[in-house]
Amino acid sequence: MNYAQEEIVRHLRELVEKLLANSPRCHDIDHTLRVLENARRLVRFEGGDPFVVECAALLHDIGRLAEFADNGKTCHALIGAEKAGGVLRQAGLEDSGQIQHIVACIATHRYRNRGSAVPATIEARIIFDADKLDSMGAVGIGRAFHFAGRIGARVHNRREEALRGASYGSEDSAYREYLVKLCRLNDCLLTGEGRRLGCERHRFMQEFFTRLEAETAN
C-alpha cells in the first residue's frame, strides 16, 4: 500500500471502532481486528490487493447491529455493503472502482449467503476465509459460548435437542452452532492457506465437542 492508502486504512479503523462500539462482544472490534490479521496473512500467501482486503476486513461487520436487532432476519452482509460506500468516502477514498470492489467483498463474505452470493475475486475469497477462520478453533468455540450466553441459551444440550432448537432460543447452544455451522466451515474455505489453517482448527473443535459430550453424558 502507498502512504495515502495507509492513511485511509488508519482513518477507517477509527470509524469502524466507533460504529462497532455497541456491538455484542462476539462481533465487536476485537473480532474485526482478528479477521484483519487473518486477511493480512492470507494476502501474503494468496496474493490480491492488500488495500482492498484491509478495507473490506475492517468493514465486513458494520451491519451486525441491524441483524442482532431483529434476531437474524436482516442480513448483516447486505446491510454492511449498503453502508460501506459512505464510510469509505468518509475515510477519504474516492476511487469508485475500489469502492465497488470492497463493497462486493463485504456482500459475499457471509457463510449463509454462499449459495447466492459467491465471492468472485481473490480479495473476496480472502475476506470469506478470514472471517470463517475466526469462527473456528479455540476462538470460534469461545465466541459460540459467548453468543449462547448473551441470548440465554443452555451451556450444553443433547444433539437431538440442539437440532430441534430454534435460532436465538434456549436450545441455541454453542453445540448447536457447531452442529449447524462450525463443523461445516472447513469444507467451505476457498483459499489454499485458509484450508491449511482451517484443518487444524477443525480438528480442535471436533476434539472439544467430543470431550464435552463425554463429560456431560448421563
Question: Structural domain boundaries of the chain?
Answer: 1-121, 135-218
Given a cut of 80, whether residue 42 has pLDDT beyond it is yes
Domain spanning 1-121, CATH class: mainly alpha
Q: How far apart are the first and last CA of the chain?
A: 57
Architecture of domain 135-218: Up-down Bundle (1.20)
Tens digit of each residue's pLDDT (9 = 90 or more) over 10-29: 999 999 999 998 888 888 89
Prediction pTM value:
0.93
Given a cut of 90, whether residue 46 has pLDDT beyond it is yes
